[in-house]
Amino acid sequence: MIFEWKVAMRFLKEGKGQSIFILLGISVGVAVMVFLNTLISGLQENLINQTVGNSSHVWLTGQSAFEQQISGLADDNVVAGNTDPRPVQLSNWQSMIEVLEERDDLRGISPLVEGNAFYVNNSMARPVFIKGFDPQKADEIYNISTRIIKGSSNYDGNNLMVGNTFATDYALEPGDVILLNLPSGVSQSFVISGIFDLGNSAVNSSWMVMDLSRAQKLLGYGNEVTKIEMQVKEIFDAETIDASIASRLDGVVVDNWIESNSSLLAALQSQSASSIMIQVFVLLAVTLGISSVLAVSVVQKSKQLGILKAMGTKSGQASRIFLLQGSILGIIGSLMGAGLGIGLVQMFLWGTSLSTGVPLFPLSIQPQNILVIGIISSLSSTIAAFVPANRSSKLNPVEVIRNG
């Protein structure tokens, strides 16, 4: 290999112009792949983070009365409308939480009570959604305490927090008192302690966040809860974690963000697919480019190859000279391209932050992705050299010598 390496390096060095053009071609191709890859994964990460970053990934609820009935009496006529639509509380939720806390793929395991109510204002009734949280646990998922825009983050006792959309709609300020009517006919008044912005208009306009015990009392659940929410450490493991929880706990319904956001995920997947398609075609173009330049180079170097073969260079050696050229170009080009791609990413971050001071969305360089792109590009360059290498190995020295 030392001989092949020497000749390959020398051919590349002496054909500087050609080598530089090829390297530029590979670099630009790899840079486009690195940039596109970073951009798309950054965009997707950002989208997913916005969608589920501050919400629960997996949640447990009790089976509804309807579900309980059909699981018990499979042959009877059961009509959903005839059953109690209220969520069924989770009995022995404390022991469920203990089970869940043993797992190390979860965090922010948070029990809560949910229920519906109406906010009545000047004879207009607006449906709202009561969320009874354990403030500390809920913060691990929702980060409410850092997302208060007015007032305090303390919502114990008779205090509650409302979203900024709701507050704006009714011109409410911290300290104001609001009256909530429950479907059961009960009316209770609460003091607004703070106004939050959780970045989701449905949440901001309908959530009434109060203490777990207060909500339990208000909705008549005693010491029970209706739901256990949690986040998973690896966001795309939500489905498998869901399944493994469901298999361990009986009488509960487990749900996850992937199932409830299937259209978003389908969009993300097709985006990834198109990004990969573009990268594949860029790679193909680069590979064909290398292949054709090296093929021309074999013709250009046919005299040298003829002499080398006459002096005892074997066909295998002759082909390795060109395979090596392909790999050398591929590796150097990929390294240059990775640098250029990272440069492009930095330029994008800088360019989009010019007017606002903050980039359009954060991009993080993914070393493992760049490594994969680099390895694939280097391999492709070597593969691109196969055809020229084959021509080089077949070259007959007699032809070259005879034809001068």
Interacting residues with another protein (CB under 8 A): 1-3, 6-7, 10-11, 13-14, 303-304, 306-317, 397-398, 400-402, 404
CB of residue 8 to another protein, shortest distance in Å? 11
Instruction: Quote the DSSP letter at residue 359.
Output: -
Query: Which residue in 55, 174, 175, 188 sits closest to 120, CA to CA?
Result: 188
d(CA 160, CA 383): 66
Quick check: 33 and 336 in contact, CB under 8 A?
no
CB of residue 343 to another protein, shortest distance in Å? 33
User: Which two three-digit tokens encode residue 41?
Assistant: 């994964």
Q: Which is nearer to another protein, 356 or 403 (CB)?
A: 403
CB of residue 14 to another protein, shortest distance in Å? 4
Residues with Cβ within 8 Å of 314's Cβ and at least 6 positions away in sequence, in order, are none
CB of residue 19 to another protein, shortest distance in Å? 12
CB of residue 396 to another protein, shortest distance in Å? 8
Quick check: 42 and 364 in contact, CB under 8 A?
yes
CB of residue 258 to another protein, shortest distance in Å? 56
Q: Which is nearer to another protein, 14 or 176 (CB)?
A: 14
Q: Which is nearer to another protein, 13 or 222 (CB)?
A: 13
User: Which two three-digit tokens encode residue 136?
Assistant: 């500390």
Q: Which is nearer to another protein, 131 or 301 (CB)?
A: 301
Q: Which is nearer to another protein, 80 or 401 (CB)?
A: 401
d(CA 338, CA 367): 10
* CA-only gyration radius of the chain, Å: 33
Residues with Cβ within 8 Å of 237's Cβ and at least 6 positions away in sequence, in order, are 105
Q: Which is nearer to another protein, 14 or 173 (CB)?
A: 14
